[in-house]
Structure 1
Amino acid sequence: MELDGKVAVVTGGTRGIGRRIVERYLEEGASVVFSGRDEAKGAQALKELEAGDRAAFVQGDVTRRQDAERMVDAGVERYGRLDVLVNNAGGMPGFAVVGETDDALWHDTLAVNLHAVFYATRRALAHLVPQGSGRIITLSSIEGKQADPGLGAYATAKHAVIGLMRAVAREVGPLGVTANCICPGIVLTDMIRDQGPLAARTLGVTYDQLLGVFTGKAATGRATTVDEVAAVAVLLAAEAGAGITGAALPVDGGATCS
């Protein structure tokens, strides 16, 4: 097993990409603390995971520094160490072209997609650097490599976390810690199904047309799957990924290959 004996913290791990990463890490032998805003969803996820003492849920809001730090510390408090932080929590609080983006949308988008990553990463480094090893993995997006209309705030945040991880990689690489981003293409998670129709209306197209825009860019001609993203998260957390740092790895079916 690739992660036998490792301890990981995964933010936003109750559903979607985060949930699949939690599942894969458990399958590979890790103990995992995962977080979410909804206590009931966390309890349900724990029940479905059937991982016993190797899984734990922490309720909190990653946009609050105290909560983000508590989530990271929970791995150490429960299992005695921290080896991997996955900054998965994120989202799109709304959609608007830049000229019509209000202050609330701008700040809310950066809070959940950028500030939360900074809070958790800074706290994780306090544990990883002294032990001389560790992995920090942040979910960016295809929007971290391009920018589509109506997603200006989101694209800004996803570009920014790539810069943050590259800075971390340079600073702590000699100390045994790696820092990378995964940049998925469109993944048909609950979030996309819930928010996709609103995004489509913002752009004046149907939901199916919007999906077609993204899948049409992919060389594979289809959406990315949660399994494909989670597989890369396993690689980056494992010894096999020790030589990868400062990277922004696309898992987008070739949508950004040009």
Structure 2
Amino acid sequence: MSSNPTSPVAVVTAGSGGIGRGIAQALADSGHRVVITGRDVAKGDAAAKAIGPADRVRFVSADALSQDAVESAIDTVIDDFGRLDVLVNNAGGSSGFAPVAELSDQAWEQAFTWNVSSGFWAVRRALPTMVAAHHGRIINISSVQGKQANIVNSAHYIMAKHAVNGFTKAVAKEYGGEGITCNAICVGPVETELMKTAGARAAAARGVTYAEHVQRYADATMTGRINQASEVGAMAALLASDNGAGITGAILNVDGGISPY
């Protein structure tokens, strides 16, 4: 990308669809040069083109479940731009939904890797550059299930999102004096491609239809609807901005009022 070299650079993992794409769009609209990552090259290239011009938005292929791929993506951004101002760890999810007594080791370990380790690898790789610049914004995408446990057959996902929130506070504590903020956004249900697939599996495991699954979340909100990806993007854009400098170690909800705190 050859746009203004003084424009801040943001990385959004798993940014080619759903919540990640909404965040990437919000950051691009607020003046950031944006790099999105993902596994599907065709989908990623198409998303980058739709979000903004080629000199402002770019796709880098990276599988969030691979440490080498995550670290390589961060290295690529730093090597290409000489800076990294905003890191949004949006990659996450789980599979193999089951009661704890039946939950597989594979599902448990995948949930931790996908939601927690992937963000840890990215943050660890980005921090030296942010520390050197005495500036950085780290935003971890969590879930309302990181604050509660009101669904069944999802212990691995609930565990992982609670861990994301703890990691967020630890990074904020260690690096606040370096001009670096670290916050988590606890997202409520947003109907993305991932929700349609993972949500359908979770619904089936609970013996309800997907439509009933979505309506259950809508009924639990104070707004009577589920959120939009653009609304999560708006929160991320605030946290990434200069006006967000005083917000750190915060676990913020964009959930329509589902979480009790």
Is this a same-fold pair by TM over 0.5?
Answer: yes
Tell me what 2:255 maps to: 252
Q: Deviations over 1:177-211 (max 9, x none)?
A: 00000001000011111222211110111212212
Alignment partners' CA distance in 2, 1:197 and 1:63: 22
Instruction: List gaps (5 residues or longer) in structure 2.
Output: 1-5
Alignment partners' CA distance in 2, 1:119 and 1:42: 21
Tell me how far 1:50 sits from its aligned partner.
3.8
SS at match of 2:88: strand
Tell me what 1:221 maps to: 224
Identify which of 235, 238, 248 aligns with 1:235.
Answer: 238
- TM-score, normalised to structure 1's length? 0.95
Identify which of 19, 29, 32 aligns with 2:31.
Answer: 29
Q: Give aligned-pair identity as a percent.
A: 45
Tell me how far 1:74 sits from its aligned partner.
2.2
Tell me how far 1:78 sits from its aligned partner.
2.0
Alignment partners' CA distance in 1, 2:49 and 2:132: 34
Alignment partners' CA distance in 1, 2:234 and 2:48: 21
Tell me what 1:69 maps to: 71
Letter in 2 for 1:235: L
Tell me what 2:3 maps to: none
Identify which of 83, 96, 112 aligns with 2:98.
Answer: 96
Contact kept, 8 Å, 1:72 with 1:124, in 2: the verdict is yes
SS at match of 1:140: strand
Tell me what 1:16 maps to: 18
Runs of 4+ in 1 over 4 A off after TM superposition: none
Alignment partners' CA distance in 1, 2:253 and 2:34: 25
Letter in 1 for 2:17: R
Tell me how far 1:82 sits from its aligned partner.
0.6
Alignment partners' CA distance in 2, 1:50 and 1:235: 19
Alignment partners' CA distance in 2, 1:204 and 1:96: 12
Whether 1:156 and 2:165 are equivalent positions in the alignment is no
Whether 1:40 and 2:19 are equivalent positions in the alignment is no
Contact kept, 8 Å, 2:189 with 2:227, in 1: the verdict is yes
Tell me how far 1:143 sits from its aligned partner.
0.8
Contact kept, 8 Å, 1:33 with 1:74, in 2: the verdict is no
Alignment partners' CA distance in 2, 1:238 and 1:48: 23
Change (3 A) 1:135 1:50: closer
Tell me how far 1:212 sits from its aligned partner.
2.2
Q: Deviations over 1:69-121 (max 9, x none)?
A: 11112222222211000000111223112111011111111111111011001
Tell me what 1:140 maps to: 142
Tell me how far 1:68 sits from its aligned partner.
0.8
- TM-score, normalised to structure 2's length? 0.94
Q: Deviations over 1:138-175 (max 9, x none)?
A: 00001101122111100100000100010000000011
Tell me how far 1:27 sits from its aligned partner.
1.0
> How many equivalent residue pairs?
255
Alignment partners' CA distance in 1, 2:200 and 2:25: 29
Letter in 2 for 1:236: L
Letter in 1 for 2:126: A
Letter in 1 for 2:224: G
SS at match of 1:52: coil
Tell me what 1:54 maps to: 56
